Amino acid sequence: MRKNRRTLHKDFRILTLDDDYIMTSTLQAYFQRSGYYVDVVNDPYQAIEQVRNGKYDILLLDFLMSPVCGDQVVEEIRRFNKEIYIILLTGHKSMAPPIKTIRDLDIQGYYEKSDRFDQLELLVESCVKSISQMRIIQNYKNGLSLMMEALPQIYDLDNTRSIYESILSITLNIFQGDRSFFMISDFTASQGENELHILGDITEEEVRDIVKNAHFDGQKVITLADMLLAPIEDEEHKIIGILGTDPGVSPEYVQVQMMEIYIRQISSALHNSQLHRLVSTKNEELTKAYEQLNESYVEIINAMRTIVDERDIYTRGHSDRVSAIAADIAGQMKKDKHTIERIRLAGLFHDIGKVGISDKILLKPDKLNEEEYANIKKHSGKGAKILSAITLFNDVVPIVRSHHEWIDGRGYPDGLKGDAIPEESKIIAVADSFDAMTSHRHYRSNLSLAQALDELRRGKGTQFSPEVVDAFLEMLDEMGEEKAMEKYGTGKAVEEEEEGENE
C-alpha cells in the first residue's frame, strides 16, 4: 500500500503558539483533521524551549502576544534554529510586521486571521513542499555518501557471496526499503556454467514472479509490484541479474536517479569480480574492468565534489572557479598543456576532503575556535587520501595535499617551505585565496577586486609565491577589471541568488 496525502502529512510536525487558547485549539483541530501532527502552546517562552528541544518543521504563531510579540520569539528561535519554517498570524494586515523584519527573520509568510483557514492551509502546504524538497536533497546527499563508503565492500574481489550480501545490505541502507532482493546468474569459472543466486527478505517464488513480469525495454529503472527494479548488466549490456527494493512510498525522481548510479557501480563491481576469477585467461578484460572501476570512482568523486559545493550557498561553484582561475594563471606563466590540465583537475578537487568535515564547522556563522580550525585544516590531507585511491589521480594528489602550504613554511599540513612546495600547489593557493576573498561567505562580506589584489600583494613571499602573484596581476591587468569580474563571477553569484529568493 502506498501512503496517501493525508498519511504523508503525519511526517510533518507543527507547533502553534498563541496566547488565545481558543485559537490554538482551533488550529490544532483543523490541521489534525488534515493529517498533521500538531502541538499547541500558549506561552511564548515555553514555545521557544519546545522548539529548542523538539523536532518541529513548521511554527504558526501570533504576532501580537503577551508578554512578548511574535517577532521577538522568532528572533530568539533563529539564534539556534535556521531550518524551521515560520508563519506569522495577524489580526489585520495593518498589524503585520514590516517586510524588512519578515526578511531579516527568514519568516516564510503571514496570515490574516479569519473564520476560514483555507489560505493558511495553502501556506502550510507550500512550506511542506519546500521541506520535502530539502529532505529529498539531504537523502540524495546521504545516499551518495553511503555509496562512497560502500565501494570497498562492493569491489571485494575475494568473496563473491560476501559481495552479494553487501549489495543487499547497502541497498536497504541507502533506500530505507521495507524489503529487497538480489538475483544474479553468476558464471562459475571452475565448473564452466552459470549458477543462479537469489538473496533477499522475500520468498524465492515472489522473486521469480516479479522477475517474470519485469520488462525493462532499455530503461535503467522501472517500478513494478511496489518495488524499484534495476537490471544488472554485463560488459555487453546483457542483463545477468536484477536488484529490487521497496522504498515504502511511491518512488521519487531522486530515488530513481540514485538507483541508476548505484546499479552502475554494482554492474561494474560484479563484472570486475568475475574477471578476477578468470584473470589467468582474460587479462585484457580485467584491464578494462579496472578502467571501469576508475571511471566509477571518478563519477562518485565528482558527485562528492558537487556535495561539498552545494552544502553552502556561499561556496557554491567555488571549486569550478578556482579550477578556471588556476588554469588561466598557468597559461599566463606559459606552462605546457599537460601541466595546465593537471592544475585544472587539481582545482576541481582541491576541497574534496571537506566532504568529511561536519556542517557545524563548515557553516558556522562566526569565528572558528582552535579545535574547529584544526579540524578544517585536515581537509587537504583527507582530499589527498581520497584521490590516492585512484591511479588516474596520482599526479594530482601532492598538489591537493599542499595547496594550503605557505612560502615561509607556516602553512599546513606539512609545513613545507619555498621550493619544497609543488609549483602547481602555489598556483592553486593564489586562485583559491582570490576566489575566497571575492566571494560572499556567511561570516563576512566579500572584498572588492582592488582589496583582494592588495591582499595578494601583501602575501607575496610569505603566504604566496611572488612569481604566481605577479603572473596573476599581469593577467588581470591585460584582461581589465570588468572582464575579470564577469569571467570569474567575483562576489556576484550569491547576491543574485539571495535577491531571487527575497523576491
Q: Give the pLDDT means over successive 10-residue stretches in the chain (503 positions).
A: 48 90 91 91 93 91 87 91 89 71 82 83 88 74 68 60 74 76 66 68 82 80 80 80 77 73 78 61 61 69 66 68 94 95 90 79 76 88 86 88 96 95 97 88 74 94 96 92 76 42 39
Q: Are residues 384 and 262 in the same domain?
A: no
Q: What was the pLDDT predicted at 268? A: 77
Residue 336 in domain? yes
Q: How far apart are CA 61 and CA 65, in angstroms?
A: 9
Q: Are residues 168 and 286 in the same domain?
A: yes
CATH of the domain at 207: 3.30.450
Q: Are residues 286 and 323 in the same domain?
A: no
Q: Are residues 282 and 322 in the same domain?
A: no
Could you give phi then psi for residue 241, rounded to 5 degrees? -175, 175
CATH of the domain at 423: 1.10.3210.10
Q: Supply the DSSP string of 376-440, one letter for each residue.
A: HTTHHHHHHHHHTT-GGGTTTHHHHHTTT--TTS--SSS---GGGS-HHHHHHHHHHHHHHHTS-
All three cell numbers of 190? 571452475
The answer for residues whose C-beta is within 8 angstroms of residue 58's C-beta and 6 or more apart is: 12, 13, 14, 15, 84, 85, 86, 87, 124, 127, 128, 131
Q: How far apart are CA 441 and CA 455, in angstroms?
A: 17
Number of domains into which the chain is organized = 3
Q: Are residues 475 and 328 in the same domain?
A: yes
Range of the domain at 108: 5-132
Could you give phi then psi for residue 90, rounded to 5 degrees? -125, 150
* pTM, entire model: 0.43
Whether the Cβ atoms of residue 172 and residue 247 lie closer than 8 Å to each other:
no
Q: What was the pLDDT predicted at 100? A: 81
Residue 150 in domain? no
Q: How far apart are CA 370 and CA 389, in angstroms?
A: 30
Among 132, 167, 190, where does a domain finish? 132
Q: Are residues 473 and 335 in the same domain?
A: yes
Q: What was the pLDDT predicted at 9? A: 66
Among 253, 275, 300, where does a domain finish? 300
Among 255, 279, 300, where does a domain finish? 300
CATH of the domain at 43: 3.40.50.2300
Q: Are residues 261 and 387 in the same domain?
A: no
Q: Are residues 330 and 452 in the same domain?
A: yes
Positive or negative, the CA dihedral 256, 262, 265, 271 is negative
Q: How far apart are CA 172 and CA 245, in angstroms?
A: 7
Q: Are residues 46 and 177 in the same domain?
A: no
Q: What was the pLDDT predicted at 202? A: 81
Whether the Cβ atoms of residue 234 and residue 288 lie closer than 8 Å to each other:
no
Cα dihedral 340, 344, 345, 351, rounded to 10, equals: 140
